[in-house]
């Protein structure tokens, strides 16, 4: 432990990222009384550029700056929202811990505080996610989808803004709304078998330099075995489909009765064509199950949908 008397944890600077990081620090500090945890704020490209569409900023828009800080030794571990991480890491990095999963579902926020089916025809829903756009239009082709960027509080404000923001609502991750204690704005929790969550949504990932045993030992206290199994299956699915942040592709894994259940989703950008399948398999081989599910959707034409 002598090399890590001061252990530097890198995170993005948004309210949500800092809240998530503080939760992790509390968890680690409870297990390592001799370690001084220091939080270091690092701005990602996605934080600096608030005007460009996320799918135009490229892979790793929220993670690369933290990885750069890992490589040059400014930090010992990076805390990410797992859903922001590319499905394939560079050989220099490893995910040393996956935290217990928050609610992975999507939530609807809107100025009428009504359910998805009850919103008026032509309601204007803001999202920067091609997946959420496809899922919303797949259920309600009448909706008008507008671009929305910003941190969680900003997106909530815009979603409730009506005429002042040009939006009537938004679809967001339950995890972020819950962690910031803004649950009063949730109009509906959306069915994850229809609005399939982003891969890894709800879990945090602790990324370290490959082979850094000291860092791995320290962050091991944050590891959740069930979340790791689910993440492995989902990330395998994403890797095999080659779907990134600009593709309407998703996977949702959950553990039930000693089995792993994974639902995979792929769609055209306008939601008019949807592929969705569910497989059940062993907890011991989540990567294989995710890969099998991806191959099933690819055999049905998923690559043409998400590539188009």
Catalytic annotation on 142? no
Catalytic residue among 8, 12, 76, 84: 84
Q: Is 89 exposed, middle or buried (0-12, 13-18, 19+ CB in 10 A)?
A: middle
Catalytic residue among 12, 101, 105, 131: 131
CA distances from 296 to 175, 247, 302 (A): 29, 17, 9
Catalytic residue among 155, 158, 179, 209: 155
- Give pTM, 2 decimals: 0.90
Tens digit of pLDDT for each residue in 218-261? 999 999 999 999 999 999 999 999 866 668 999 999 999 999 99
Tens digit of pLDDT for each residue in 266-291? 999 999 999 999 999 999 999 999 99
DSSP conformational letter for 61: T
Catalytic annotation on 228? no
- Range of lowest pLDDT (57-66, 69-78, 142-151): 57-66
As annotated, the residues of the chain forming the CATH 3.30.160.40 domain(s) are 235-307
Helix (H/G/I), strand (E/B), else coil: 206: strand
Q: Percent of the chain scored above 70 by pLDDT?
A: 91
Residue 104 · residue 196 · CB < 8 Å:
no
Q: Which CATH architecture group holds 2-100+203-223?
A: 3-Layer(aba) Sandwich (3.40)
The upper half-sphere exposure of residue 17, i.e. CA atoms within 13 Å in the direction of its Cβ, equals 27
Catalytic residue among 12, 101, 124, 132: 132
Residue 165 vs residue 126, higher pLDDT? 126
Statement: residue 53 has pLDDT above 70: no
As annotated, the residues of the chain forming the CATH 3.40.190.10 domain(s) are 2-100+203-223, 106-189
Quote the tokens at residue 234: 């989902």
Catalytic annotation on 105? no
Superfamily of domain covering 235-307: Porphobilinogen deaminase, C-terminal domain (3.30.160.40)
Segment 44-62 shows an average pLDDT of 50
The upper half-sphere exposure of residue 252, i.e. CA atoms within 13 Å in the direction of its Cβ, equals 20
Catalytic residue among 8, 12, 83, 235: 83
Other CB atoms within 10 A of residue 33 CB = 6
CATH, domain range 106-189: 3.40.190.10
Catalytic annotation on 254? no
pLDDT confidence of residue 58 = 45
Mean pLDDT of the chain: 91
Catalytic annotation on 131? yes
Statement: residue 59 has pLDDT above 80: no
């Amino acid at each position: 432990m002598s090399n890590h008397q001061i252990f530097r944890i890198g995170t993005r600077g948004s309210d949500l990222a800092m809240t998530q990081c503080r939760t992790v620090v509390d968890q680690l500090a409870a297990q390592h009384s001799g370690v001084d945890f220091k939080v270091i704020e690092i701005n990602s490209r996605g934080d600096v550029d608030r005007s460009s569409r996320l799918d135009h900023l490229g892979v790793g828009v929220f993670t690369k700056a933290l990885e750069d800080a890992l490589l040059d030794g400014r930090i010992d571990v990076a805390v990410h929202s797992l859903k922001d991480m590319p499905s394939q890491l560079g050989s220099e990095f490893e995910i040393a811990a996956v935290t217990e999963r928050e609610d992975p579902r999507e939530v609807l926020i809107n100025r009428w505080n009504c359910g998805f089916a009850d919103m008026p025809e032509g309601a204007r829903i803001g999202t920067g996610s091609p997946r959420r756009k496809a899922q919303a239009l797949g259920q309600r082709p009448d909706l008008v989808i507008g671009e929305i960027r910003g941190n969680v509080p900003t997106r909530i404000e815009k979603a409730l803004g009506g005429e002042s923001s040009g939006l009537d609502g938004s679809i967001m991750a339950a995890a972020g709304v819950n962690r910031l204690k803004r649950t009063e704005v949730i109009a509906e929790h959306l069915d994850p078998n229809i609005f399939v969550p982003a891969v890894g949504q709800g879990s945090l990932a602790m990324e370290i330099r490959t082979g850094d045993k000291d860092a791995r030992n320290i962050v091991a206290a944050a590891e959740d075995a069930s979340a790791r199994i689910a993440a492995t299956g989902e990330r395998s699915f994403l890797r095999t489909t080659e779907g990134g942040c600009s593709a309407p592709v998703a996977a949702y894994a959950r553990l039930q009765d000693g089995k792993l259940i994974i639902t995979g989703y792929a769609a055209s950008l306008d939601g008019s064509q949807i592929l969705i399948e569910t497989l059940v398999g062993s907890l011991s081989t989540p990567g294989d199950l995710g890969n099998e599910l991806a191959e099933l959707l690819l055999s049905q034409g998923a690559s043409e949908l998400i590539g188009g």
